[in-house]
Amino acid sequence: MSDNTLNLQNLGSASTLSRKLEDGISFVIFGASGDLTRRKLIPALYNLACGGLLPAKFSVFGFAVTPMDDDSFREQMRAGVQESKEAKPFDPKVWDAFAAGLHYVTADFVAPEGYQTLASRLEEAEKRAGRTGKRLFYLATPPSFMADIVARLGEHGLVTPTAAPGEGWSRVVLEKPFGRDLKSAIDLNASIHKVLQEDQIYRIDHYLGKETVQNILAFRFANSIIEPIWNRRYIDHVQITAGETLGVEHRGGYYEQAGCLRDMFQNHLLQLLATVAMDPPVRYGGSSVRDRKADVLHAIVPINPENLADIAVRGQYGPGHINGVDVPGYRQEDGVSPLSNTETFVALKLFVDNWRWADVPFYMRSGKRLPSKVTEINIQFKRVPHLFFQLGADDQMEANTLTIRIQPDEGIALRFCAKIPGPEMHLRQVQMNFSYTDSFQVEPSTAYETLLLDSMEGDPTLFNRADQVESAWTAIEPLIDIWSATGPFQPFPNYAAGTWGPSASDTLLARDGRAWKNSASTGVSSVVRVDSECPAIIAGGEAGKGA
């Protein structure tokens, strides 16, 4: 297989797909001296190189204000790959070939000189390779620079409108956060639309590149038993949790301005909600998937500021312990004000007002310094309408729950009631489990690998459109307004590091007679595994021993 043919051999027999990228792509990274480039982008490109997935004549041009030459940029990126837990094992041969295409331009984002230098370096490289420009500009910068950078790209002729097939093209990938509220997002969209057409703009949300998030569509729409029950008739409520054990690390400065609502909800959590709640698209690709997700975001019931306390909870962690280690509170972190009112935890109840979901609550929570790193979606089904078993105090009778484990231990589990083996009819909860690792025997590729490939290929399915981003800001705007207007006297910190957020988060569900589920914290006493190759149930755990 030639090195410009995308092969998905690492998925073994799971896929026969083979895609081809055009030769001679230039990948320009604005903010190349930053953390994202070193920790995520270059390791993802290196992984693609290891898999023979990069096109021939591929070059990377880093662009940032930190002074560096090509060699020191290569050195730093090499260290990044060697340190990265997500990068494939370091292979000097692959690295050397890849690193030969790494270049660096030291320049200010707003001054014209850097863009002139970049233009001539791109043209030189394109001339040498005898190719027309196929340019992907990746803006790994704070949102405040994005409009200026795109304007300069236009002024210097570095981007041109979408070309005919076979000709050169230019696309721009914009990292999150996209704006910092609805107005700034609308303004940013308006500015970049002066230079670029919408089909040249790739607004990235790395959650959409995760295998497990893409699998939500496969699970829902490629299995005939799922879709008929995926609605308000059978589903009682949905819970989405994205918990992290880490604090803000070295990102205190950024996080002070962002907070959990902007950092996780406006993008990742609302995208998970849209993926779980969307109607079936006409096809995979084009605008179809994005249209259906946009429908969901448009249908979110506006937050009513008058009953805010009943639907939203914010928190900030104080000192505590995680995995037996003492950790400081948020206000003690580097770059954080000792009086900070920034929220590090949010729990929210939203409704999606359409035929499928009317009156079904979507409870969502996310926070830093929680007891475990876990992202999962729990679909809680309704109880059976009538129970004729004579149950005793030891019997367990719960409504069915389907858990989609986005990370870690990627997979899907269904909890249901089963008869305990023995002469009498007693029930307990058991679990059927699908695990990616067991079924496919491969580590899923990282989200950035998928998304970088898609953007180079010109497939926008997993990227956000202007209207989606604006609807997501609209959904949380009332909270941003009210929370930022409340004075300096928040009762923060209101949860200890290593706990599941403030008690008000539990009250949010308890008020509705419900409780948060968390497979990572509650554990599962009995596991029944389903082999993906053969649908026969293989008994395991305590249930298996008894059978």
Interface ranges with ligand BG6 (CB under 6 A)? 176, 244, 263, 375
Active-site pick, 237, 250, 268, 386: 268
The angle subtended at Cα 355 by Cα 349 and Cα 361, nearest 5°, is: 15
Would residue 193 show up in a list of annotated catalytic residues for this protein? no
- CB of 375 vs ligand BG6, minimal distance in Å: 6
Contact assessment for residue 497 and residue 344, using Cβ atoms and an 8 Å cutoff: no
- CB of 379 vs ligand BG6, minimal distance in Å: 20
- CB of 142 vs ligand BG6, minimal distance in Å: 12
Best CA proximity match to 106, nearest among 147, 159, 62, 42? 62
Closer residue to ligand BG6, CB minimum distance, 141 or 375: 375
| 96-99: long-range contacts, CB 8 A cutoff, minimum separation 24 | 97/49, 98/45, 98/46, 98/49, 98/54, 99/74
Q: Is the peptide bond before 423 cis (omega within 30 degrees of 0)?
A: no
Count the alpha carbons within 13 Å of 172 in the hemisphere toward its beta carbon: 27
Pairing of strands 320-322, 317-318: unpaired
Terminal-to-terminal C-alpha distance of the chain = 50
- CB of 405 vs ligand BG6, minimal distance in Å: 12
Element (H or E) spanning 29, and its range? Answer: strand 25-30
Closer residue to ligand BG6, CB minimum distance, 235 or 472: 472
Contact assessment for residue 212 and residue 467, using Cβ atoms and an 8 Å cutoff: no
Closer residue to ligand BG6, CB minimum distance, 176 or 529: 176
Token pair listed for 219 = 């699970």
- CB of 38 vs ligand BG6, minimal distance in Å: 16
Closer residue to ligand BG6, CB minimum distance, 134 or 262: 262
Closer residue to ligand BG6, CB minimum distance, 195 or 213: 213
Token pair listed for 105 = 């331009």
Contact assessment for residue 347 and residue 362, using Cβ atoms and an 8 Å cutoff: no
Contact assessment for residue 296 and residue 352, using Cβ atoms and an 8 Å cutoff: yes
Closer residue to ligand BG6, CB minimum distance, 126 or 263: 263
By beta carbon distance, the residue nearest ligand BG6 is 263
- CB of 542 vs ligand BG6, minimal distance in Å: 32
Q: Which residues are catalytic?
A: 268
